[in-house]
Chains A and B, each alone.
Chain A
Amino acid sequence: MAHGTHDSDWFAVRKPLPEKRSRVLSVLAFVLPLGLWSLVSYVPFIWHPLVQVENPGSVDYFVKDMLIEKEVFAKENATALVKHAALATGHPKNPIYLPAPHEVARAMYTAFRTPPRLPSEPWLHQSLWQSIQVIFWGFFLSSLVGVPLGILGGTFDIFAKLQEPFIEFFRYLPAPAFGALCVAVLGIYDAPKIAIIFIGTFFQQVLVVSNTTRKLEIPMIEAAQTLGANRRQLIFRVVVPGVIVDLYTDMRILLGWAWTYLIVAEMVGTTSGITYFINQQARYRNYENVYAAIILIGVIGLTSDIALARFGRVLFPWRAEARKSVFRAWFRERKAARAARAATEGAPA
């Protein structure tokens, strides 16, 4: 009864689960959707609305490997049966736009090895690199202006009052709405795409940074004032270092938002980057390549975020213990277990 709520409860309100369970769940978070996808792909009776023809039999318009709707296939075979003609054979298949996991996995490798169909088209890695550059410049330019403005707005009320009403209005305007304008002003290559990322990021960024800056406790500022800090010193020696950790987290989240504008941005002017790759592959009906490219965007986003989080722990040592990595905890546990085993094995000898 007493131990009931502590260790064995999977649904304890606002209580962290033990590390082992958290690990299992984070693996499940990926395994479950993958399992669902596999189920739909590999178990024929769940969906598989089409039939891939193996032997056309007596049906004159059937061709080998043709995809036919299940009902049509059954009807033609029923007609053939009545006529005592040869029956067509085939096996159930999902539509071409839903490839199986192993096909996408294979595509993730082959897409990088397959040369483009036309010599003027970029390889996949070139498309990706172009996308990353567009994201980088859009986000970098936005941060270059947005972060200082945000810090000013969070520090001085005059800046907050002057910039926030307009920004609040502007942030409701969807960035893609400026696509045509951006092309008119900046041409059709990378500049308008960078501009779309900028517009999508900048206004949120100023507000988020202002808000974070305002969260610095006022006594911290007052303490610095009684220690003789002047206005400039307050900003650069107290406000900025005081909020930098939270700003870093904000920037990671905002970078994630910038990625969500990528596809729209790349459709402005001449389609480019990963969007061009995705569109081309869809046109060739290589849907496994389309999925591979979409998944690659997620992989790049997630790994860069994890890398930045790690880097943050190096940058801000005073927060080093605030959040511990699941993996590091796991390694520590393993090491301790090994040490314990070594000790017990060593003891009798």
Chain B
Amino acid sequence: MHGLAEKEQTVAADPASQPARPSYRDQAPEVAARFARIYQRPVVLEVKGLDKRFESEAGPVNALQNISFRAHRRELICVIGPSGCGKSTLIRILAGLDSATGGETLLDGHPVRGPGPDRGMVFQGYTLFPWRTVLQNVMFGPEMRGLGYTTARDEAMEWVEIVGLGRFANAYPHQLSGGMKQRVAIARALANKPRILFMDEPFAALDAQTRAQMQSYLLELWKKVDITVVFVTHDLEEAVYLADRIVVLDAHPGRVREIVEVPVPRPRTREQMVSPLFVTTKQHLESLIHGVPDETAVEAASEDAAVKTPIRMTQVGDDVE
């Protein structure tokens, strides 16, 4: 079962089966060396042949089929895919909030069942506890571990300082901006010293400017903290900017289409976003997600057709372009 999954992946990743777009595979020597180093590191998370089937009114739905990948220590993996590919379901299963119908998830080689403090999670919505101050929110994990008040507070304060919100330690969540709330959510997850941090479109609700800040900020934090990150997003640029590797999912059924090694060298800067390497990588992802000949593509095509409707509701000559 597992062997089959790996074989499928290799087939999918085979350049011969892909349209001729070789440049995203051109890794500079230091990038290749970095990947070699990453693969040397121990595997923190191993996903083996994960399946998820729903019973819906229209019959059974294969939300996820045979998902397999590995995350090495201190690797930053992004998961992308078209809408409906089950990327949120996947991360919820990994965090233990949903159960899979097949396959297994290993954390440091041990199978996981149910949610636990060894796997932190940052949600898309703001899930801070409104009745707790910033500091008390971050203290929640340590308190649940059974630490005394002072120890928990001191540990939490350290994390509040790390995310740069020391001045707001005693503020309530409703007094914070969206970006600050997500920083608290990250601090709250990290204060538990999890082995891996799952992030489910954590910046999707933020405005473009704040989102860009939070992305750079996450990279800074990731450099300073011993944490492995699995980051779900629908924003391709975000994925290329953040990730070491990108797991690209197909929809209906949700399957791993390709695992892309991002060739853009680190440290990442926003200026790299216009570099040819960044652009071709992004284009490749785009072609993977939007250029697939299945029903999503058909839907997209019909949407295009609707836009190019021949009916005209304005006077002839009254043109906007």
Contact = CB atoms under 8 A, between A and B. Distances in A.
B192 interface: yes
B131 A227 contact: no
B13 to A, nearest CB: 32
B102 interface: no
B92 to A, nearest CB: 8
Interface string A222-259: 11111111100100011001101100000000000000
B318 to A, nearest CB: 26
A223 B174 CA distance: 17
B131 A316 contact: yes
B115 A219 contact: no
Please classify how large the interface on chain B is, using the bins under 10, 10 to 19, 20 to 34, 35 or more: 20 to 34
A299 interface: no
Nearest to B173: A318
Nearest to A241: B131
B141 A228 contact: yes
Nearest to A223: B127
B140 interface: yes
A219 B144 contact: no
Given A219-B123, A318-B172, A226 B97 contact: yes
Interface in A184-238: 217, 219-220, 222-230, 233, 237-238
Contacts of B130: 242, 318
A220 B188 CA distance: 13
For A219, A227, A244, A317, which residue has the most chain B Cβ atoms within 10 angstroms?
A: A227
Given A233-B144, A318-B172, A226 B119 contact: yes
A227 B140 contact: yes
A222 B97 contact: yes
B121 A242 contact: no
A224 B140 contact: yes
Interface in B114-134: 114-117, 119-121, 123, 125, 127, 129-132
Contact of B115 (A222, A242, A245, A316): A222
B127 A238 contact: no
Main secondary structure on chain A at its contact with chain B?
helix
Contacts of A244: 131
Nearest to B95: A226
Contact of B192 (A217, A227, A237): A227
Interface in B136-181: 140-141, 143-145, 172-174
A229 B143 CA distance: 9
Nearest to A224: B140
B125 to A, nearest CB: 6
A54 B144 CA distance: 83
B144 A229 contact: yes
B115 A226 contact: yes
B129 A242 contact: yes
Contacts of B140: 224, 227, 229, 237
A303 B22 CA distance: 77
A318 B174 contact: yes
A227 B123 contact: no
A237 B198 CA distance: 23
Nearest to A229: B144
B248 interface: no
A187 to B, nearest CB: 44
16 contacts: A220-B127, A222-B123, A222-B127, A226-B116, A226-B119, A226-B121, A227-B117, A227-B140, A227-B141, A227-B189, A229-B140, A229-B144, A244-B131, A318-B131, A318-B172, A318-B174
Given A226-B96, A226-B115, A242-B130, 14 more contacts: A220-B127, A222-B121, A223-B121, A226-B97, A226-B120, A226-B121, A226-B198, A233-B144, A237-B140, A241-B129, A318-B130, A318-B132, A318-B172, A321-B174
